[in-house]
Amino acid sequence: MKFLPLTRQLELEQSSPESIVSATAGTFFYRKGNDLFFFVNSGVFTRIEVSKKAMLIKLKPVNAYTSLTEENIVFATPNEIWQKTGVYGSSGWKFIGYGAFEASDVPI
């Protein structure tokens, strides 16, 4: 995590869904850009809303960045894919990589 002084943004290294997003085993969590999040299950993309501040709070105390808005939080890479393992819940996410699904597959 680093502060970008010229843009006044905070850059996170990853968008880990661990302890934030619940899903069933085999579901993929896909981030495209800074603001698009999807569940991918059996080839079906479902757009979801995820709080980037919740990802930040896992890393720092709650009051460390109280003035930051969702728009001020960005990610170091353009895409991420995670896969849910184990039983239904918010724990058990495994990082797959920084790849992307085919552009034609991703709804806008």
Q: What DSSP line would sit under 39-55, residue for residue?
A: EEETTEEEEE---HHHH
The residues spanned by each domain of the chain are: 2-105
The mean pLDDT value for 40-51 works out to: 93
Strand partners, 83: 28, 94
> Tokens 């085999």, residue?
26
User: Looking at residue 26, what is its pLDDT?
Assistant: 94
User: Looking at residue 59, what is its pLDDT?
Assistant: 66
pTM: 0.85
Give the pLDDT confidence of 1-39 residue by residue, as tens digits: 788 888 888 889 999 999 999 999 999 999 999 999 999
Long-range contacts of 11-14 (CB under 8 A, 24+ apart): 11/74, 11/75, 11/76, 12/52, 12/55, 12/56, 12/59, 12/73, 12/74, 12/75, 12/76, 13/75, 13/76, 14/75, 14/76, 14/80, 14/95
Residue 71 has pLDDT above 60, yes or no: yes
Residue in 77, 70, 76 with CA at minimum distance from that of residue 55: 70
Write out the two tokens for 79. 């895409």
User: Looking at residue 65, what is its pLDDT?
Assistant: 60
